[in-house]
Each structure stands twice: as structure tokens, then as C-alpha cells.
Chains A and B, each alone.
Chain A
Amino acid sequence: MTDIPISNILFVSTALFFIGMYGLFTRRNMITMLMSIELILNSVNINFVVFNKYLYPDKLDGIFFTIFIITIAAAEAAVAIAIIINLYRSHRSIDVETAEEMKY
């Protein structure tokens, strides 16, 4: 396995993070927003794995963290989808802009 420089991998994860951020801010469909959040989480996961691998190869802390995040992301997706379904039931839409009542 040829050594890939750490900067390349970090570049990928940063790109992934901002793609996710862009999607979160611009998409109105809540499912798409949920997917964007997954992208952000995964970019973080990559960071954890990479830093673990390159800086402390004899430890597993970063890997464990990644597993925790994946678990939590799964749970979060379940909760988020439940919210989306309820929103759809009450508003007949999953567009985030239809749910603007909660202000002031």
C-alpha cells in the first residue's frame, strides 16, 4: 500500500464536509437535508480514522469514536425520519419551509 499523504485525505474530508454543509443550507427537502447531515458526519469520521492511523497507529481511540458516531447517526436518522413523517402528516409536505410557524 503506497503512502497517501495525509493532506490528500484531509482534503477529501473537508470537501465532503462543505458539500454536506452546502446541501444542508440549500435543500428544502428534509430527506435531502438528512442525507447532507450524514455527509458531514462521515467527513468527521474520515478525519478521526485518518488522524488515528497517521498520528497514533498503536491506539484505537479514533476508530472507537467513529463507531460511536455511526451508531448515533443511525439513531438520529430514525428520530429524524419519525419527525419527517409526523411533519408530513400534519402539513402534507416535507418541505422545510412549510413548517415556519415556530417563531417569535
Chain B
Amino acid sequence: MNYASYIALIPLLPLAGFVLLGIFGRKYFKNSSGIIGTVLLLVSATLSLYTAYNYFFVDGKVGDSYQTITAIKFTWLSFSENVSIDMGIILDPISVMMLVVVTFVSLMVHIFSLGYMKGEERFPTYYAFLGLFTFSMLGLVVSSNLFQIYMFWELVGVSSYLLIGYYYDKPSAVAASKKAFIVTRFADLGFLVGILILAFYGQTLDFKTLIENLTTQQSSQFLAITTASFVGVSALTWALTLVFIGGAGKSAMFPLHIWLPDAMEGPTPVSALIHAATMVVAGVYLVARLFPLFTITPVSLSIVTVVGIVSAFLAAIIACTQTDIKRVLAYSTMSQIGYMMFALGVSGYGGENGLGYTASMFHLFTHAFFKSLLFLGAGVVIHFIHSNEMKDMGGLRKYLPITNLSFLVACLAIAGIPPFAGFFSKEEILLAAYHSNKIVFGVALFTSGLTAFYMFRLYFSIFWNKQIEVHNHHGEGPFSMKFPLIILAFCSIFAGLIPFGKYVSSDRLPFESHFDPMFSLAPVAFGVIGILLAMWMYKKESEKAERISQSLGGLYKAAYKKFYIDEIYLFITKKIVFNLIGRPAAWIDRNIVDGLMNKIANTTATVSGFIKGMQSGKVQSYAIYFFGGIVALAIVFLYLWK
């Protein structure tokens, strides 16, 4: 099968949409830009599905294991014979899976936005940015080497910045976009240093060769990177930890998660695409891409585990207290990505040990569907109510029947209730954790209960609880907004039935994941308890929630204030960084750099003022200068010239 003939079209079509709509959109495609973007993406998504079919069922397998196919490869920047930066497209199980997820969710968001963003002033710009994002994300997942993934990584950051700041006349949106960009950029510094270390010792940027070089115990590269050390830690551990910092920044892991809740200032479909299904899982994807390297460095792997579980737990607690529905979803995203992270962290390499890896990818896959569904559902609600706050909502099930049902499906999926998608993936994650680390398993189990609680708190607060007065009657919105909900709801129900282990595994060999009904009893029980608790507290309008939060006192307040992490960051940046580094730097800039330039300019101005004064326009003074000059010359030639 020759993938090269069409594979490049998958990322390039959205890019074409970006260029076309970005340049000509506002002039020529004022109203049709949405359709253009959607059609381009439809083609792209179809090609992705076709690729996936070919890869998984026709010719991806050699023997038993799935091979890595380099579909396209060319040298992009050549420094010398041996050093060059390549661009390429590789196909392996995870990149093909991500291709499908990204194009599919992006397509749903494109369709949804046709209704949601209708009538916006910058409608073509919005679709242009969506195209740019989709292009960057697709480029990221098919990257064949570290440098290419880094470039697309930054492109993804830029398009996320543009889309969060889409409502640029809103100060909070501008602040949020800046925050997201700066925080992720800060994390990317670690990523870049990590890349440089890996490339230096591994002597290549290419993923395949890099992994081969560094996992062979006898290779000179492996010996070099493990013997070199800094502060008693080997260079390999440093490199992977730094790379993971980049991934943690993009994936909103504790303590670099602070940008994600604020990023909800962007349009809701954008949150569904970028901050739920695709970009935020880039960190997980990166760790999965370099997974063979992580498995040989237990320290890095345990950092991944700890960061993942802490993020999952912390975010779940915060999500229980937030009142802005999009923020609840943002924290729940963070929590679910935490699940994926620690699933990778507890995983081993190969066969049954690699269960965590498969589970993580599986959860990524199912999470993309139900979380984008939740965000799009929230979009319908916000479109209907014109508010993000829970207190403005209640009893909406009568007005939004389709949204109600699909939202319920998504909530059940994320809560891990069988037979919805989230149940299967979460169950595998918990199983992997159980085999590897009991503490992680315990926390994860408790968190899954919390997940069910806060999701159903959200669900009941929106669709049940008190009955609010509804004044507008434009209903659920156009068909373009309902259609993605229905499709995604189907995916959320059935995506879990895919035997994922057959297709995606750490060593590419298919394995059967055993489904153990006895084991899944505990997670489901926790989920059901969470749901019942939420139902008891929020189904009817009551004082119960209020009283419980008051009795919790300080803990509730701390969680409501997001554990003061934002405040800590502000303290560090404003009080310490700005005062100790910013002010001296500003002083040097103002007094030494600017001062020098000002001095030069002033001297020049003074001199020129003096010369200018001589040209007075008075003919007689010119005559005097002339005469004086002659006298001077006469003196020189008569008396001084020997």
C-alpha cells in the first residue's frame, strides 16, 4: 500500500483552509467560510479513516506486530553531511489512532461551530484558526522526529493562543491567552533542552533510530548517555524528565495546569477541540511516543506516575467546588489526563506488563469522544442561557431534550458506568495501577468516585434542580449543533467495545486484555456511590450542598480557590521574579542602554545646532567667514608654511 500518495493531504487540507480563509475569507467567503472549512476537514477525516482501515486491517502488520511505516520523508534543513533536520510522516498504531481522533473531533467541532458561531463578526477568521490548529495537531501526531514534533508543538501552542484570545475585546480572554502561551512556553523550554540532550547523545533526531540507539544496552550511545551525569542523575533521566516537563505543560499537569481553566475564555467549541480532546493530550502522546526510553529509566517513569496521580486527584477535588460549568469540565479534563499519565507511569514494556500503555491510549481515545461531547453540550447550554454559571441554570431537560440525553451519556461514560466507553478504558487503567502500585490504585479508585460525583453534580445542576424561567425560545439551536452531539453520543456508547489491546500496545504485539467482572466491581461501586450522592444533593433544589460545604469549612474554601496555586504563582512572579530580576534589568535597560543612546543622540544634536547657527542666511556674515578664511589661509601660507 502506498500511503505517500495521499497521506500528506490529511494535514495539508486544513492548512489550505487556513491560508484560503485567512487571506480571502473576510472579503469573499464571509458566509461560506464555515462550509469550506468543514468540507476540507470532511475530506481529511475520510482519508484518515481510510488510512486507519488500511493500516490496521490490510497491511500494517508484518508477522504479528504492527510496523512503523515511514510514508514520507525528506530533508528540510541540511546543516552538513550528517546533521540535518527532516520532515516526515510516520504511521504506527498510536499516530494512526490520533489521526482518526483529531480529524474526527475537529470535524464535529467544525460542524457544531456552523451553528454556534453563526453571526460572529470574525467568522472566517475563526475557521481559519481552526484549520491552522488542526494542521498543527495532525503534523504533531505524524511527526517522524523530535525536532519536527517540537515545531508542530509550538504551532499548536500558537493556534491555541489565537483561539483562546478569539474574543480579543474581552480583557479576561486576552489575559487567558497570554497566560496559556507563557505557561506552556515556559514548559517548552524544558522540552527543548531535553531534545538537545537526547539528540546530542543519541546522535539522531529520528524517533525510530533514536529509540534503537538508546535502548540497545551495548550501543555506544546508550553507554554515553547513561554514564554522563549531572548532579548525580544520568543524562538520560534528565533528558526524559525535561521532555516530560514540556509534555506536562501542554497537558496541564500539576503544577503547570494553571492555564487550562482560564483557557475556557475561548469559544466553547474551541475548548471541546483543543482543551479537551486533542492538544492537551499532546503531552500523553509525547510520553507514549518515547515510551521505550521511559521504560528503561524508572525515575522518569515514577515522576510521570506521581505527577499524573496528583493532577488527577487535585483536579477532581477542585472540580467538585467550581460553579462555572466550563471550569468544571476543564478540571475534569485535567483529572482524566492525569489518569492517562499515571497509566503510562505504572506501565511496563511488552505483553501483559504493557497494559498501562494500552489503557492510557485507550482512555485517550474514549476520553476524546465523551469530553468533546460534554463541552459541545455545555456549548448548547451556554448558547441557550447566555451564562456560564451554574446558578443561572436548572431544569433545562424540558427545553434541551437531545442535549440532556447526550450529556447524560457522556457523564455516564466519564463516570465509568458499564457499558459506556469510559468504563472499559478506566477499568484497564485501574487494573494496570492495581498490578503495579497499590497506593496509586487506591487514590485512582477514590478519584473515580469523585469524578462520578462532580460530573453528576454538573448534570443535575444544569438539567434538574430548580426550574428557571426561560425567556428566549430559540430552542436547542440548528441541526448543525445537534448532529455532532448525536454522533459523539454514539461514539461514547460504543467506542469502549473496541478490543484496543489488539491494535495498540507498547511492543506493537497484539494482546488480549482480560476482562474481570469481579475486579470492576469496586470502580463501578465507587461510581454509583458518587452518582447517588450527587443525585441526593443536587437533583432537587435544596440546602444540603450549602450545609455540607459550610461544614467542610477551610477545605471547601481552599478547593474553591483552587488551592491557592494561582496566588502562589502570582506571588513568585510578581514579588520575587519581577522585583529581583525584572527591576534591575529594567534599570540597566533604562539607564545604561538607553542612556548611552540618548547621550550619543544629544551630542549629535548639540553639534548640529552649533553648525546650523552658522548658516544664518545673513549674506554679510557669510562674507565675514569668507574673508576670515582668506586671512587665515594667508597667515598659514605666509608665516607658517615652511
> Which residues of A are in contact with B by a Cβ distance under 8 Å?
21, 24-25, 96-97, 99-104
Using a CB-CB cutoff of 8 Å, which residues 573-626 of chain B contact chain A? 612, 615-620, 623-624
Question: Which residue of B has the minimal Cβ distance to A102?
Answer: B617
Judge whether B615 and A96 touch: CB under 8 Å: no
Partner of A100, one of B612, B618, B623, B624: B618
Residues of B within 8 A of A96 (CB): 618-620
Judge whether A100 and B620 touch: CB under 8 Å: no
Known: A24-B623, A25-B623, A25-B624. A97 touches B618 (CB 8 A): yes
Residues of B within 8 A of A21 (CB): 627
State in angstroms the CA–CA spacing of A99 and B620 once bound together: 11
Give, as a whole number of angstroms, the nearest-CB distance from B599 to chain A: 25
Question: Which residue of B has the minimal Cβ distance to A25?
Answer: B620
Question: Which residue of A has the minimal Cβ distance to B620?
Answer: A25
> Which residues of B are in contact with A by a Cβ distance under 8 Å?
612, 615-620, 623-624, 627
Residues of A within 8 A of B619 (CB): 96, 99
Judge whether B617 and A103 touch: CB under 8 Å: yes
State in angstroms the CA–CA spacing of A96 and B612 once bound together: 20
Question: Which residue of A has the minimal Cβ distance to B614?
Answer: A103
Residues of B within 8 A of A99 (CB): 617, 619
State in angstroms the CA–CA spacing of A73 and B241 once bound together: 94
Residues of B within 8 A of A103 (CB): 615-617
Would you list 15 pairs from A and B whose C-beta atoms are within 8 A, ordered by A residue?
A21-B627, A24-B620, A24-B623, A25-B620, A25-B623, A25-B624, A96-B618, A96-B619, A96-B620, A99-B619, A100-B617, A100-B618, A102-B617, A104-B612, A104-B615
State in angstroms the CA–CA spacing of A101 and B615 once bound together: 11
Question: Which residue of B has the minimal Cβ distance to A24?
Answer: B623
Give, as a whole number of angstroms, the nearest-CB distance from B604 to chain A: 16
State in angstroms the CA–CA spacing of A8 and B616 once bound together: 40
Question: Which residue of A has the minimal Cβ distance to B619?
Answer: A96
Residues of B within 8 A of A101 (CB): 617
State in angstroms the CA–CA spacing of A21 and B626 once bound together: 12
Closest 8 CB pairs of A and B: A103-B617, A100-B617, A103-B615, A102-B617, A96-B619, A25-B620, A104-B615, A103-B616
State in angstroms the CA–CA spacing of A98 and B302 once bound together: 91
Give, as a whole number of angstroms, the nearest-CB distance from A29 to chain B: 12
State in angstroms the CA–CA spacing of A2 and B112 once bound together: 123
Give, as a whole number of angstroms, the nearest-CB distance from A23 to chain B: 11
Give, as a whole number of angstroms, the nearest-CB distance from B600 to chain A: 22
13 new A-B pairs (CB below 8 Å) besides A99-B617, A100-B616, A103-B615?
A24-B620, A24-B623, A25-B620, A25-B624, A96-B619, A96-B620, A99-B619, A100-B618, A102-B617, A103-B616, A103-B617, A104-B612, A104-B615
Question: Which residue of B has the minimal Cβ distance to A101?
Answer: B617
Give, as a whole number of angstroms, the nearest-CB distance from A76 to chain B: 15
State in angstroms the CA–CA spacing of A97 and B618 once bound together: 6
State in angstroms the CA–CA spacing of A96 and B627 once bound together: 18
Question: Which residue of A has the minimal Cβ distance to B615?
Answer: A103
Give, as a whole number of angstroms, the nearest-CB distance from B626 to chain A: 10
State in angstroms the CA–CA spacing of A96 and B619 once bound together: 7
Give, as a whole number of angstroms, the nearest-CB distance from B542 to chain A: 85
Residues of B within 8 A of A25 (CB): 620, 623-624
Give, as a whole number of angstroms, the nearest-CB distance from B625 to chain A: 11
State in angstroms the CA–CA spacing of A11 and B617 once bound together: 34
Residues of A within 8 A of B624 (CB): 25
Give, as a whole number of angstroms, the nearest-CB distance from B156 to chain A: 57
Question: Which residue of B has the minimal Cβ distance to A103?
Answer: B617
Among B612, B618, B619, residue most surrounded by chain A Cβ atoms (within 10 Å): B619
State in angstroms the CA–CA spacing of A103 and B619 once bound together: 10
Among B615, B618, B624, residue most surrounded by chain A Cβ atoms (within 10 Å): B618
Residues of A within 8 A of B616 (CB): 100, 103
Residues of A within 8 A of B617 (CB): 99-103
State in angstroms the CA–CA spacing of A24 and B617 once bound together: 16
